[in-house]
Amino acid sequence: MPDLEKLRAVPAARARLDAEELELIDRARRDGATWGEIAAALGLGSRQAAEQRRLRLVAAVPPVVVDAYGKAFDTLRQAALELHRRVGADRRWDRRFTRAVLVRETLAAVPAAAGGALFALAEAVIADLAEAAAPLPAPTRAAVDRLRAALEAASPQR
């Protein structure tokens, strides 16, 4: 029987490792590593394989459980996580504007944030993004727009 208990623990361990690997890949990219360097570190044969691995991990990271705040907050969390992934993969992010590092660090707190804290984090990110003087890349701008829309939909004033 003990072996069965260990087997039951494998999916949760795999999910944790997938999430950690995704975070490490994104951090390496943010710190200036090339896709070729990441591929070598992972034992993969090409930069394309490393990029495909990241995409698989993004799809594999399990969705966040909806908390007592409901669907609007789940949508808000997903929008914030999407923006966090985009920011994490952007090697130039920390140099884009004065508060870029603060935005990245705030987004890093999203996965563990409860409903009210999640709302506050999203508000802080939107406020800090207002400081960006230069235009953001189109996919990042679209992710920001989705976060803003999700924040509005989850607003307690509604």
| Domain definitions of the chain by residue range | 1-62, 64-158
Predicted local distance difference test score (pLDDT) of residue 65: 44
Predicted local distance difference test score (pLDDT) of residue 116: 76
Per-residue pLDDT of the chain (158 residues; tens, 9 = 90+): 578 888 888 887 887 888 788 878 878 887 889 999 999 999 999 999 998 998 888 777 655 544 445 678 888 989 999 999 999 999 999 999 999 999 999 999 888 777 678 888 999 999 999 988 889 999 999 999 999 999 988 875 54
Residue 101 is encoded by which pair of tokens? Answer: 């590092």
Q: Would the CA dihedral through 113, 80, 87, 24 be positive or negative?
A: positive
Residue 2 is encoded by which pair of tokens? Answer: 């003990």
Predicted local distance difference test score (pLDDT) of residue 70: 64
Reported as half-sphere exposure (CB side, CA atoms, 13 A), residue 41 has a value of: 14
Reported as half-sphere exposure (CB side, CA atoms, 13 A), residue 77 has a value of: 22
Taking a C-beta distance cutoff of 8 angstroms, is the pair 81, 118 a contact? no
Of the candidates 103, 101, 66, 67, the one whose C-alpha atom is nearest the C-alpha of residue 83 is 103
Predicted local distance difference test score (pLDDT) of residue 80: 95
Is pTM, for the whole model, over 0.85?
no
Residue 30 is encoded by which pair of tokens? Answer: 């943010």
Of the candidates 111, 149, 93, the one whose C-alpha atom is nearest the C-alpha of residue 23 is 111
Taking a C-beta distance cutoff of 8 angstroms, is the pair 152, 122 a contact? no
Residue 29 is encoded by which pair of tokens? Answer: 């990219």
